[in-house]
Amino acid sequence: KPGEDWLCEEQAPGIWFCLGVKRWLVRRRTPYQDLDLAETESHGRVLALDGRFMLSERDEFFYHEMLVHPALLSHSSPEKILIVGGGDGGALREALRHPVQKVVLVEIDREVVEVAKEWLPSVHRGAFEDPRVEVVVSPGEEFLPQHRGEFDVILVDSTDPVGPGAALFEPGFFRNCREALKEGGILALQSGSPFLRPEEIQTVVGFLRSLFPTVVPYLGFMPLYPSGMWSYVLASLDRLPEEDALWERYRARGLHTRYLTPEVFRAACVLPPFVKELLSPCPNA
């Protein structure tokens, strides 16, 4: 049972995932959510918000590489990037590995950024101090309408669609993302577990297919997250490049990754039949 020696998430009714805790580092209520950070027996430091796991030191690279690199490799010249959420700095770290000129990170909860800076250096690796980075403390849904046609790539590194993250899954938010992109811009976001929470990817893909000519769902392994099968979506105002072009950019940018390669991304876009069936009723399928 959840208790003082365990950090637990109820991932679905009747399904709990618990990690043994060596020591609690941070336990507080921010203005927006409950924030827990623990040193665990098996996964290093683990961050949870409102009782949901956000990352662990052991496996965060699975998620951050899959969220960031498909979008940035698909863009020929990703100069200005927006990250909505991502206050832990993991997505920021990966975005800075590309030839970007500026990355704006918009995080609703200042305390998430402060805790990450102090306690999660292995995740952000100094990314917050990079001169190309601007951190804005603001709700993403309020920031976007003020920045039309400004970004080459938008990465939505959100929590699940509950609490402060719920607004990042609304149709108006996705419309504002589209308007904030430059010509040829790309949007990438996570869309939950298609096995335990199929309504998330159905909703996201349905909204995006009504707004973008190119919408590509893809899957990745994420051990900490519900069911281990996690989904993401790329949405582009243009066609996405072929694998050869992605490899050319991967090598030219000097990338060395632990999970995502252009070959893995190509495979991740091949959806199993049950996911295809989930998405078949979506608009513009």
Q: Which residues are catalytic?
A: 157
Question: Residue 209 is encoded by which pair of tokens?
Answer: 């297919």
Contact 181, 154 (CB under 8 A): yes
Contact 127, 88 (CB under 8 A): no
CA–CA distance, 249 with 265 (Å, rounded to integer): 14
Q: Do the bridges between strand 151-157 and strand 80-85 make them parallel or antiparallel, or are there none, so unpaired?
A: parallel
SS3 annotation, 2-26: CCCCEEEEEEECCEEEEEEEEEEEE
Question: Residue 185 is encoded by which pair of tokens?
Answer: 């811009």
Residue type, 51: G
Contact 180, 149 (CB under 8 A): yes
CA–CA distance, 227 with 78 (Å, rounded to integer): 33
CA–CA distance, 129 with 127 (Å, rounded to integer): 5
Q: Which residue has the tokens 């951050």?
A: 64
What DSSP line would sit under 120-138, residue for residue?
Answer: -HHHHTTGGG-TTEEEEES
